[in-house]
Amino acid sequence: MELSVYNIKGEDTGRKVTLNDSIFGIEPNDHAIYLDVKQYLANQRQGTHKAKQRSELSGSTRKLGRQKGGGGARRGDINSPLLSGGARVFGPVPRDYRFKLNKKLKQLARKSAFTYKAAQGEIIVLDSLNFEAPKTKNFVAMANNLKIDNKKTLVILPEPNKFVYLSARNLQKVNVVTVSELNTYTILNCSALVLTEASLAGIDQHFNA
């Protein structure tokens, strides 16, 4: 697939780039995408939830009623889960939600996400992206020129750029990442994918390494 190359003024430079079919034109694997997104969201969880078990509550351990003949369920002390104010049965405890995925599966998921974006025509390629100073209005002007000002935008840079990052930091719908920080969730969670020619070269190198 060929795409036109634009500058930050939204002008067509007259040049075109060809997207690598091994990254942007594969047969998408939806299950790989599901697993990678599931892992990403699981990794965001703190897992610090906690409910007190029966042994952790303060209260008398005296058995309140006799074992049989009371007409209700058998219960022991006042910390019983059967009573109001008692402990919780099988309550949540701190845990780690992270799980492992194979590297090749994660690569397949990200290639599938790129393929969907290319098929939907949501990729914009710039010749370069840099600002002389960190100013939000410069980034907004670029977004207006590219007609993506009302879209959730992901900007992929070949390497960290402080001016671009600071210019976009206050914009709620904009996310700026480098090639090495890419993940399937971030790629899918946008409606405009902005790349530079250097970013494309970095993506080719990253996925073919």
Q: What is the pLDDT of residues 71-125, one digit of tens each?
A: 888 888 899 988 888 888 899 999 999 999 999 999 999 999 999 999 999 999 9
- Reduce the secondary structure of the chain to three states and give it as a string: CEEEEECCCCCEEEEEEECCHHHHCCCCCHHHHHHHHHHHHHHCCCCCCCCCCHHHCCCCCCCCCCCCCCCCCCCCCCCCCCCCCCCCCCCCCCCCCCCCCCHHHHHHHHHHHHHHHHHCCCEEEECCCCCCCCCHHHHHHHHHHHCCCCCCEEEEECCCCHHHHHHHCCCCCEEEEEHHHCCHHHHHCCCEEEEEHHHHHHHHHHHCC
pLDDT for residue 143: 93
CA distances from 93 to 36, 55, 126 (A): 25, 14, 49
Pair type for strands 2-6 and 12-18:
antiparallel
| Domain co-membership, 125 together with 160 | yes
Backbone angles phi, psi at 53, to 5 degrees: -85, 175
Query: How many domains is the chain built from?
Result: 2
For the cut 90, the answer to whether the pLDDT of residue 62 exceeds it is no
Quick one: which of 101, 46, 54 has its CA closest to 78? Answer: 54
| Domain co-membership, 191 together with 150 | yes
Binned at pLDDT 50, 70 and 90, residue 56 comes out as: confident
| Domain co-membership, 169 together with 197 | yes
From 62, 96, 130, the end of a domain falls on 96
| Domain co-membership, 83 together with 177 | no
| Domain co-membership, 120 together with 150 | yes
CATH of the domain at 34: 3.40.1370.10
Write out pLDDT tens, residues 137-190: 999 999 999 999 899 999 999 999 999 999 999 999 999 999 999 999 999 999
pLDDT for residue 151: 92
Binned at pLDDT 50, 70 and 90, residue 209 comes out as: low
pLDDT for residue 83: 86
What length is written for the chain? 209
| Domain co-membership, 22 together with 107 | yes
Q: What number is the average pLDDT over the span 15-31? A: 93
The 10 Å CB-count burial string (b at 16+, else e) for 69-106 is eeeeeebeebbbeeeeebbeeeeeeeeeeeeeeeeeeb
| Domain co-membership, 33 together with 108 | yes
Range of the domain at 191: 2-45+100-207
For the cut 70, the answer to whether the pLDDT of residue 47 exceeds it is yes
Residues 6+ positions from 163 with CB-CB distance below 8 Å: 130, 131, 132, 133, 134
Binned at pLDDT 50, 70 and 90, residue 64 comes out as: confident
